[in-house]
C-alpha cells in the first residue's frame, strides 16, 4: 500500500515472509497506511534495518512520525498500540 502522501509506517519486508504478510494485513484491516519496502530489492533498506536499527528479523516496522518507535517481527502488542494510536489520531482530527 503506497500513496502520494506520507504514510503512518514503513514496513521493511522480504518475499515469502508470513510475519510480514500478517503485519501488512493487520495495518490494512485497521486503515493504517504504510509503505512496504522489500529489503531484498533495496540494499540501502537492508543496511538501514541491520546496521542503524540493529535488527536481523523481518518485518521491521518504523513509525514515520516517531523514529524512536520501531520493532522487528510479528509483534501483536505493537500492532494493537499502533491501532489505538491511529484511532486516537482520527478522533482528534474530527
Q: Show the domain range for 43.
A: 9-89
For the chain, how many structural domains are there in total? 1
Pairwise CA distance, residues 83 & 30, whole Å: 6
Task: Note the pTM of the prediction, 2 decimals.
Answer: 0.89
Pairwise CA distance, residues 21 & 33, whole Å: 14
* 35 CA to centre of own chain: 7
pLDDT tens digits for range 16-71: 999 999 999 999 999 999 999 999 999 999 999 999 999 999 999 999 999 899 99
| Closest of 80, 59, 61 to residue 70, by C-alpha | 61
The verdict on residue 72 lying in a domain is: yes
pLDDT for residue 3: 41
Average pLDDT, integer, range 81-85: 93
The verdict on residue 1 lying in a domain is: no
The verdict on residue 27 lying in a domain is: yes
The radius of gyration of the chain's CA atoms, rounded to the nearest angstrom, is: 13
pLDDT tens digits for range 1-20: 444 468 999 999 999 999 99
> What CATH number did the domain enclosing 68 receive?
3.40.30.10
Amino acid at each position: 500500500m503506497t500513496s502520494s502522501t506520507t504514510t503512518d509506517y514503513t514496513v521493511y519486508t522480504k518475499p515469502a515472509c508470513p510475519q510480514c504478510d500478517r503485519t501488512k494485513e493487520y495495518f490494512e484491516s485497521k486503515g493504517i497506511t504504510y509503505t512496504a519496502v522489500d529489503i531484498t530489492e533495496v540494499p540501502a533498506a537492508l543496511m538501514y534495518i541491520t546496521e542503524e536499527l540493529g535488527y536481523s528479523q523481518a518485518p521491521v516496522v518504523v513509525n514515520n512520525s516517531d523514529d524512536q518507535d520501531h520493532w522487528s517481527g510479528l509483534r501483536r502488542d505493537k500492532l494493537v498500540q499502533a491501532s489505538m494510536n491511529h484511532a486516537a489520531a482520527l478522533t482528534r482530527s474530527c
